[in-house]
Amino acid sequence: MLALEFCGMRFATPLVLLSGCVGFGEEYTRVAGFTNRAAGAVCLKGTTLEPRLGNAAHRIYETPCGMLNAIGLQNPGARHVVEQILPSLDFSETRFIANISGSTVEEYAEVARIFDNSPIDAIEINISCPNVKAGGVAFGNDPEMSARVVEAVRAATRKPIITKLSPNQTDIAGNARRCIEAGTDAFAAINTLMGMAIDIESRTPLLGNNQGGLSGPAIKPVALLRTHQVYQVCRPHGIPIIGQGGITSAEDALEFLIAGASAVGIGTALFYDPGILPKINAGIVDYLQRHGLTEVAQLTGTLTLNDRRPGCGC
């Protein structure tokens, strides 16, 4: 009932553990409840070509209904992940998805080539990174830059590509359209929103990087809308979406599925309830049974919009 096909991969459930929240998978796979196939896939921590130490402390700050993080892509480098970490993972338990980042188009392509020669099931592209050749403008905030990265990665790998879209842009649907033309197989919507927190006594930012990515329930309404907007572009092409952003319950997950997602990502919720996956799965099953549905895919994109009234303003 919960199993589905996603870009040719068989997911045991629609739940995907999001990049940055479970290390490189070897940590969370030891949590009780994981081995019963509670997660359909695990996105590994963001990986770059060379090792990175990440940002200076503080890196995480709790906010009302959410969390700011500015880890800075700390990782041991793509070759270390492929040679030392991937062999320790049990690929019979779930699907594992690499998350790649870069500061140039060429770096994205090289990291993709390294993972192409590995047992990884798919590659997620984090296009929210700054392009050093364009003065630090984030790839994901410019549709043409986004498309260039997707094109380069597509040429470097035969594995399914999932493009992780940034919400910090004016036209996410337009960006999705260009990425489809460039060859992406799927999307993850959305990445974190940019935010800040300030220590009023010292009058300085509470994060060492000054700003960070906001995740958690606070961003759910934005994530839902962005997922639905991207779905309108994806539907004619059969492109699937991992909907994500503030999901903490079965009800949240169901909203994303109805809005157009084929699978849903769980991230911040894992920090305060590592055992949340079986609870969400059970809630989805209960909903399907109550509504006479036999599989979760029957929910995707079933949202019926209200008629707009003249003068509503939006």
pLDDT of residue 132 exceeding 80, the answer is: no
* pLDDT tens profile 262-283: 999 999 999 989 899 999 999 9
pLDDT of residue 128 exceeding 90, the answer is: no
Q: Of 114, 136, 105, which is closest to residue 44 (Cα–Cα)?
A: 114
> In Å, how far from its chain's centre is CA 302?
22
User: Residues 174-186: what's their mean pLDDT?
Assistant: 98
φ, ψ (nearest 5 deg) of residue 246: 85, 20
Domain presence at residue 180: yes
Find the catalytic residue in 21, 43, 129, 234. 129
Indicate if 129 belongs to the active site. yes
172-182 and 143-156 helices, crossing angle to 10°: 30
Q: How confident is the model at residue 25 (pLDDT cuts 50, 70, 90)?
A: confident
Which residues form the domain of 207? 4-299
| Pairwise CA distance, residues 312 & 310, whole Å | 6
Domain presence at residue 172: yes
- What pLDDT sits at residue 112? 98
Domain presence at residue 309: no
pLDDT of residue 98 exceeding 70, the answer is: yes
More confident residue, 49 or 133: 49
Residues of the chain with pLDDT > 70: what percent? Answer: 94
Q: Of 103, 102, 84, which is closest to residue 24 (Cα–Cα)?
A: 84
pLDDT of residue 311 exceeding 60, the answer is: no
How many domains are contained in the chain? 1
pLDDT of residue 310 exceeding 90, the answer is: no
Domain presence at residue 254: yes
DSSP-derived pairing of the beta strands 122-126 and 161-164:
parallel
DSSP-derived pairing of the beta strands 263-266 and 15-17:
parallel
Which tokens go with 246? 């503030």
Q: How confident is the model at residue 26 (pLDDT cuts 50, 70, 90)?
A: confident
Q: pTM for this structure?
A: 0.96
- What pLDDT sits at residue 138? 82
**Mean pLDDT for all residues in the chain:** 93
Peptide bond connecting 58 to the previous residue in cis, omega within 30 degrees of 0: yes
- CATH value at residue 188: 3.20.20.70
Domain presence at residue 21: yes
Which three-class secondary structure string do you get for the chain? CCCEEECCEEECCCEEECCCCCCCCCCHHHCCCHHHCCCCEEECCCECCCCECCCCCCCEEEECCEEEECCCCCECCHHHHHHHHHHHCCCCCCEEEEEECCCCHHHHHHHHHHHHCCCCCEEEEECCCEEHHHCCEEHHHCHHHHHHHHHHHHHHCCCCEEEECCCCCCCHHHHHHHHHHHCCCEEEECCCEEECCEECCCCEECCCCCCEEEECHHHHHHHHHHHHHHHHHHHHHCCCEEEECCCCCHHHHHHHHHHCCCEEEECCHHHHCCCHHHHHHHHHHHHHHHCCCCCHHHHCCCCCCCCCCCCCCC
User: Residues 101-121: what's their mean pLDDT?
Assistant: 97
Q: How confident is the model at residue 93 (pLDDT cuts 50, 70, 90)?
A: confident
In order of 65, 91, 206, 282, 306, the CA distances from 97 in angstroms are 28, 11, 32, 24, 37
Domain presence at residue 307: no
Domain presence at residue 308: no
- What pLDDT sits at residue 28? 73
pLDDT of residue 233 exceeding 90, the answer is: yes
Domain presence at residue 151: yes
